[in-house]
Amino acid sequence: MTYEDIKILYEDNHLIVALKPQGVPSQSDSSGDEDMLSLLKAYVKDKYSKPGDAYLGLVHRLDRPTGGVMVFARTSKAAARLSDQIKDGTLQKRYLAVVTARPGEKRARLTHWLLKDGATNLVKVVPMTTDGAKKAVLDYNVVEDNDENGLYLVDVKLHTGRSHQIRVQMATIGCPIYGDVKYGKNQPNGAFSLWSYDLSFRHPTTDKLMSFRVFPPEKYPWTLFNLEKHIGIVKPRD
């Protein structure tokens, strides 16, 4: 993979908004595989003939199997201001997920305390008093049922950004992500169905509201649902 394989949604002197493919790490990890941060640094370096290592700030992450929209900062000032927006809730992310069971409530807020095991890269729900546990909060809304296939489309809004958060919290209520072999039992490999479809924030210098929405891949199980209705835009046609 090269940076030419990455779709750029927006760029200016302060930031880059790009579409992360599923299976690509947000930043370098032990796998040594190409990652979004390195690929976009190479893109900036080549496009703008930057000497040395081009600066690019990673202000938020997506799990490796999760695809969707991400924003990167081209200056340290932009990185700091976007990070502040994450802390105060101005920067907002929404996800679509296909889950393998219908939650008991159509919409609800989930609050758990999570602990990550660095050795296994697994996150689990633990008591609030557990040393190192971090509070995780999300809102979900079941937006479409496909009872024939036993699959359900859920819109998720994050209030915290914990590692594997949506995957663990949905699995904890008995509704694992379709294709999530890490947290769901008997899930099909290669069909992971969690997608960051909406990202909004204030531009770090102009304060203009920036909003981006992107469709998940046109493949099963996403094709079972009316995504245009739920995402609120018309899917681009080839």
At 238 the pLDDT is: 58
Cα 200 from chain centroid (whole Å): 13
What amino acid positions are annotated as catalytic residues?
63
- In contact, 89 and 200? CB cutoff 8 Å: no
| 205/227 Cα distance (integer angstroms) | 33
At 237 the pLDDT is: 66
* DSSP code, position 216: P
- In contact, 35 and 29? CB cutoff 8 Å: yes
Terminal CA-CA length for the chain = 23
| 126/113 Cα distance (integer angstroms) | 6
pLDDT of the chain, 238 residues: tens digit per residue: 888 999 999 999 999 999 999 999 999 887 888 999 999 999 999 998 888 888 999 999 999 999 999 999 999 999 999 999 999 999 999 999 999 999 999 999 999 999 999 889 999 999 999 999 999 999 999 999 999 999 999 999 999 989 999 999 999 999 999 999 999 998 998 899 999 999 999 999 999 999 999 999 999 999 999 999 999 888 776 5
Determine which helix (DSSP H) or strand (DSSP E) holds 60, and give its type and residue range.
none
At 24 the pLDDT is: 95
Using DSSP bridges, classify how beta strands 67-73 and 194-202 pair: parallel, antiparallel or unpaired: parallel
At 43 the pLDDT is: 94
* DSSP code, position 142: E
